Structure 1
Amino acid sequence: MKPLIVLLLTFTISLFAIKLIKKEYHFALSARVAMSTMLVFTAIGHFIFTKGMSMMIPEYIPFRENFVYLTGIFEILLAIGLLIPGLKVISRWTLIIFFLLMLPANIYASINNVNYQKGTFDGNGLAYLWFRIPLQTLFIIWVYISTIRI
């Protein structure tokens, strides 16, 4: 829920800030600024909640904590890429693939009741997916629409 709030709040603020500066609305730019901010916000979680996030990865995958750090860095790089005109298309496709690849980790975490913030097994369980899957879908659509030429 927090990433969605960050996304929508940042979109609204940047939309009006850009309107004040450039004297016109730039919806796609505001959407990219919002997605970039949300990605940095979630990337920070990779460094704060490393133990819990590593619990979202099956035990048979080695170096789980390193993988969590790596994906946090990856999110920050993609956030920057969305804001650089020459990199926004490659960032779009990379993010879409990234969001799709993160879905199995979210499913695994739900099945195992992982609470990534506490690093425990008392999370919301499968009910979490009723919110997370539509949210992932929104992120994918958001990234795609904000990076195409209209």
Structure 2
Amino acid sequence: MTSNPSTSPRLKEIFRAILSVSIIVVGITHFVKPLEYASIVPPQFGDRLAMVYISGFFEILGGIGLLIPLVSVAAAWGLIALFIAVFPANIYQAIHSIPIEGIPHHPLFYWFRLPFQAVFMAWAWWYTRKPEEQPGASSVESLVESSMNR
């Protein structure tokens, strides 16, 4: 069974849009309900509300950047850094079972969410390489060039 070379890039772009929109929406919620997010920021981080606004700003910026080819690789790396930076808040939420509206309130759910941060990091990492650097890209280009030279 052979695969269509255009399927993978198309699917990747669909997932890029899904990640971008999701991150932008979550970033916006940091400004709509900042006190809820502030409640999960560990006190050691200082001004909790400032941390919420800063992370929300960078989520929106990263989500938009992921859609702009010129900066999408940098945006993907920025999102990975952001996911790492906010991970302590997710741990703090799980330890203290702190509810946030829109997220099911169950202590086990908070713990279950933690490994999914790695999924989000991997998802963003998928966009850290330019299309021409992707495995198989040169073979696809060669195939296209050879068919055009006939």
Which bracket does the TM-score occupy, shorter chain normalised? 0.7 to 0.9
Indicate the residue corresponding to 1:129 in structure 2.
Answer: 111
* In structure 2, C-alpha distance between the alignment counterparts of 1:67 and 1:52, rounded to whole Å: 12
Show structure 2 runs of 5+ residues with no match: 1-5, 135-150
TM-score, normalized by length of structure 1? 0.72
TM-score, normalized by length of structure 2? 0.72
Residue by residue, what CA displacement relative to the aligned partner does 1:10-47 show, whole Å, maximum 9, x if unpaired?
xxxxxxxxxxxxxx651222121111100111112212
Q: Percent identity?
A: 32
The alpha carbon displacement at 1:126 in A equals 4.9
Contact 1:29/1:146 (CA < 8 Å) preserved in 2? Answer: no
Q: How many residues get paired?
A: 122
Indicate the residue corresponding to 2:33 in structure 1.
Answer: 49
Which structure has more helix as a fraction of its residues?
A: 1
Runs of 4 or more consecutive aligned structure 1 residues displaced over 4 Å after TM superposition:
none
* In structure 1, C-alpha distance between the alignment counterparts of 2:106 and 2:19, rounded to whole Å: 25
Residue by residue, what CA displacement relative to the aligned partner does 1:60-90 show, whole Å, maximum 9, x if unpaired?
3322112211211111111111011111111
Contact 1:52/1:116 (CA < 8 Å) preserved in 2? Answer: yes
RMSD: 1.9
Contact 2:24/2:64 (CA < 8 Å) preserved in 1? Answer: no
Show structure 1 runs of 5+ residues with no match: 1-23
Q: 1:2-17 alignment to 2 at 5 Å? A: none
* In structure 2, C-alpha distance between the alignment counterparts of 1:140 and 1:71, rounded to whole Å: 15
Indicate the residue corresponding to 2:78 in structure 1.
Answer: 94
Q: 1:19-58 alignment to 2 at 5 Å? A: 25=7, 26-58=10-42
Indicate the residue corresponding to 2:56 in structure 1.
Answer: 72
Structure number with the bigger relative contact order (C-alpha 8 A, sep ≥ 6) is 1
Structure label with greater radius of gyration: 2
Structure 2 counterpart of 1:125, which letter? Answer: P
